[in-house]
Chain A
Amino acid sequence: MGFKFTEENIKRIETARRKYPTALAAVMDTVYIAQEQNGFVSNEVMEEIANVLGIDKVNVLSVVTFYTMYHTKPMGKYHVQVCTNVSCMLRGAYEIWDGVKDKLGLDHMKVSPDAKYSLEEVECMGACGYAPMIAVNEDYFENLNKEKVFEILDSLK
């Protein structure tokens, strides 16, 4: 089964394409759209991106493997990201990181067997003044402690 963009997503890609003078420049936006539709960026997906934009597949691959927010493997329904960089660390991020690791039984970039959770130790997310923080998928949760983090994790259904 090959991967095909939905009609709506084709329109979104066309909108992205119009922002730039070259098709190659739209690749980052297109990979985002593909990841949103497919959950992760597989070989087939990369092929389809190359077809849709009319660029070489190697260009898609080089971008997908360079940026950390593109996933080449399936991630959990809830991708939990814990920042442990300096500002968060000073306010107890490692306590949270260890707690989350224990609670979910996962390590960095691992996915739970039921594919509900995946865990990532991320670099600075730009929330230093509201540290420590975690992000679940696209949402930031700030000014946390271990108890609050567990509350958030428990609320994920």
Chain B
Amino acid sequence: MERIVLPQIENFNQIEVYLANGGFESAKKTFAKTPDQIIDEVKKSGLRGRGGAAFSAGLKWSFMPKTTDKPKYLCVNGDESEPGSFKDRQIFEDNPFQLIEGAIITCYAIGAKVAYLYIRGEYHKWIKLMQKAVDETYARGFLGDKMKETFGIDFSCDLFIHKGAGAYICGEESSLMNSIEGLRGYPRVKPPFPAQRGLWGCPTTINNVETITNVPAIIKNGWEWFSKIGAPKHPGTILFGISGHVNKPGVYELPSGVLLTDLIFNVAGGVPNNKKIKCVIPGGSSMPPLRGDQLEGVRMDAESLKEAGSAIGTGGVMVMDEDTNLLKVLIRIAHFYHHESCGQCTPCREGTGWMEKTLRRIDEGSGTSADLDLLISVANNIEGNTICALGEAAAWPVKFMITRFRDEFEKYVNKNISIPVPNKVHSMRGTAVPLAEIQK
């Protein structure tokens, strides 16, 4: 099976091995063409963003203005804080130079002189590994001013690593830019889009680490080759991170469009003790969960998952077996989004807290069926009413978990509503409720 992002070559993270296996040849090939040709090539390859939105990478690049007197920037998003997603650290560890080469090619295509690689702060080890790789690349003359001599061209770019400091929200592209500028990680209102006004008000492109790592392979083998791998509308390979109740959790690179059941049972070794699956979240904790009895035939690419009622997200598959308490899972997810909401937009700041509190009330045993409807209503009022997508990320799991597993959630709540009223007759005076219906 073809592997693009994590090739099975020993010591591929050493620059000598990388160079011996055609390293930086794609960059050379790139500089023989015009930036427009490169953008066109990536566009035709069908490469789609691996950060969650699955937007066409080439199309994104083409939004960058061709004529501007402002500097342009590239941001490579390695914030990776979505629960269930742990693929980028594998790239930092095993294939740092292909990522760097991809960043160089992208800089050339969009005309950027500086690229920032944003890595989450908790990844101390991987930041050190990446810094070492970047330093080596500089020393070999593939980055910085020396590029002009090495490649014999009139183009150079720099790559800097920006260390995050523990904020999930900084994975959102506009928040990431604020974080690089040294501000609080508050998302910005769009439009203007980053390609018009990004870092320091200059045109900026933001791509995921995995997306960028795919680029050198596309340039090397051509767009026709890439577009034939995996699902036609979402070609290439995807790094699937499987976690939870499976025998062999981990990161696996597979062609897109692979069967979800294949992934769980063949690649990840199935569920421990041969238990049944209750629930699968196919793309990181913010994506709508799928029921265990509806997994047959679901394929792992953007289109198929959309049809199945979920989304590909970051390819972080979380498997939960039949004994899982979904209420506890949902409380944990709701707590996460409550904790990580940046606090800018009222629906998200307040709503995430309400959802967590209501869920905890159910967990304490004083929830009712009406609380489940209340949760869905709160979720619906967050969705679409916030600046960034954290609102949706917080609302979807609650909304879809409860609607799709209503049968299970009904078990956690009391069927009958009992409102403690000290003096029932008095408090009900003047209402149309007959006395008999007031519970004892």
User: Across the interface, which residues of A come within 8 angstroms of B180, CB to CB?
Assistant: 20, 25
Say yes or no: is B185 at the interface (Cβ < 8 Å to chain A): yes
Task: Given A28-B179, A85-B336, A131-B249, decide whether A126 and B123 contact each other with a Cβ distance below 8 A.
Answer: yes
State which residues 114-130 of A face B: CB under 8 Å.
122-130
From B89, B160, B332, residue with most partner A Cβ within 10 Å = B332
The interface bits of chain B over 145-166 (1 if a CB of A lies within 8 angstroms of the residue's CB, else 0) are 0000000000000001011111
Q: Is the CB of B165 within 8 A of A32?
A: yes
State which residues 315-363 of B face A: CB under 8 Å.
316, 318, 320, 324, 328-329, 332-333, 336, 339-340, 342
Q: Is the CB of A130 within 8 A of B184?
A: no
Q: Is the CB of B182 within 8 A of A24?
A: yes
Say yes or no: is A135 at the interface (Cβ < 8 Å to chain B): yes
Q: Is the CB of B84 within 8 A of A128?
A: yes
User: Across the interface, which residues of A come within 8 angstroms of B251, CB to CB?
Assistant: 129
Task: Given A28-B182, A63-B182, A91-B244, decide whether A124 and B324 contact each other with a Cβ distance below 8 A.
Answer: no
Q: Is the CB of B122 within 8 A of A69?
A: yes
Say yes or no: is B245 at the interface (Cβ < 8 Å to chain A): yes
Q: Which of B80, B84, B182 contacts A87 (CB 8 A)?
A: B84
In the complex, which residue of chain B has the Cβ closest to the Cβ of A66? B184
The interface bits of chain A over 64-79 (1 if a CB of B lies within 8 angstroms of the residue's CB, else 0) are 0011111000000000
State which residues 1-24 of A face B: CB under 8 Å.
19-22, 24
The interface bits of chain A over 84-95 (1 if a CB of B lies within 8 angstroms of the residue's CB, else 0) are 111101110000
From A25, A32, A62, A124, residue with most partner B Cβ within 10 Å = A124
Q: Is the CB of B167 within 8 A of A87?
A: no
In the complex, which residue of chain A has the Cβ closest to the Cβ of B180? A25
Say yes or no: is A140 at the interface (Cβ < 8 Å to chain B): yes
Say yes or no: is A27 at the interface (Cβ < 8 Å to chain B): yes
Give CA–CA (A84, B89) in the complex, Å.
20
Task: Given A67-B166, A135-B122, decide whether A25 and B241 contact each other with a Cβ distance below 8 A.
Answer: no
State which residues 160-199 of B face A: CB under 8 Å.
160, 162-168, 179-185
User: Across the interface, which residues of B come within 8 angstroms of A86, CB to CB?
Assistant: 83-84, 244, 281, 285, 318, 329, 332-333, 336
Q: Is the CB of B249 within 8 A of A126?
A: no
Q: Is the CB of B86 within 8 A of A85?
A: no
Give CA–CA (A67, B163) in the complex, Å.
12
Give CA–CA (A135, B124) in the complex, Å.
11
Q: How far is the CB of A63 from chain B (nearest CB, A)?
A: 6
User: Across the interface, which residues of A come within 8 angstroms of B318, CB to CB?
Assistant: 86-87, 90, 128
Q: Which of B81, B179, B185, B200 contacts A124 (CB 8 A)?
A: B81
Q: How far is the CB of B257 from chain A (nearest CB, A)?
A: 22
Task: Given A124-B336, A128-B318, decide whether A90 and B84 contact each other with a Cβ distance below 8 A.
Answer: no
Given A28-B164, A86-B84, A125-B122, list of 8 further CB < 8 A pairs?
A24-B182, A25-B182, A29-B162, A67-B164, A67-B167, A86-B329, A126-B122, A130-B250
Q: Is the CB of B83 within 8 A of A124?
A: yes
Task: Given A130-B249, A138-B125, A140-B125, decide whether A28 and B165 contact each other with a Cβ distance below 8 A.
Answer: yes
User: Across the interface, which residues of B come within 8 angstroms of A63, CB to CB?
Assistant: 165, 182-184
Give CA–CA (A25, B86) in the complex, Å.
27
A contact patch SS:
mixed
18 residue pairs bridging A and B, Cβ less than 8 Å apart? A19-B160, A21-B200, A28-B182, A29-B162, A32-B163, A32-B165, A63-B182, A67-B185, A68-B165, A69-B122, A87-B84, A123-B336, A126-B86, A126-B89, A128-B249, A129-B86, A131-B244, A131-B249
What is A's interface to B at a CB cutoff of 8 Å? Answer: 19-22, 24-29, 31-32, 55, 59, 62-63, 66-70, 84-87, 89-91, 122-131, 135, 138-140
Q: How far is the CB of B47 from chain A (nearest CB, A)?
A: 24
User: Across the interface, which residues of A come within 8 angstroms of B250, CB to CB?
Assistant: 129-130
Q: Is the CB of A28 within 8 A of B162?
A: yes
Give CA–CA (A122, B332) in the complex, Å.
12
Q: How far is the CB of B133 from chain A (nearest CB, A)?
A: 16
From B88, B125, B183, B339, residue with most partner A Cβ within 10 Å = B183
In the complex, which residue of chain A has the Cβ closest to the Cβ of B272? A91
Q: How far is the CB of B414 from chain A (nearest CB, A)?
A: 25
User: Across the interface, which residues of A come within 8 angstroms of B89, CB to CB?
Assistant: 126
Q: Which of B71, B81, B125 contacts A123 (CB 8 A)?
A: B81
Q: Is the CB of B184 within 8 A of A129?
A: no
Q: Is the CB of A126 within 8 A of B81?
A: yes
Q: How far is the CB of A13 from chain B (nearest CB, A)?
A: 13
User: Across the interface, which residues of B come within 8 angstroms of A129, CB to CB?
Assistant: 86, 241-243, 249-251
Q: How far is the CB of A92 from chain B (nearest CB, A)?
A: 11
Say yes or no: is B144 at the interface (Cβ < 8 Å to chain A): no
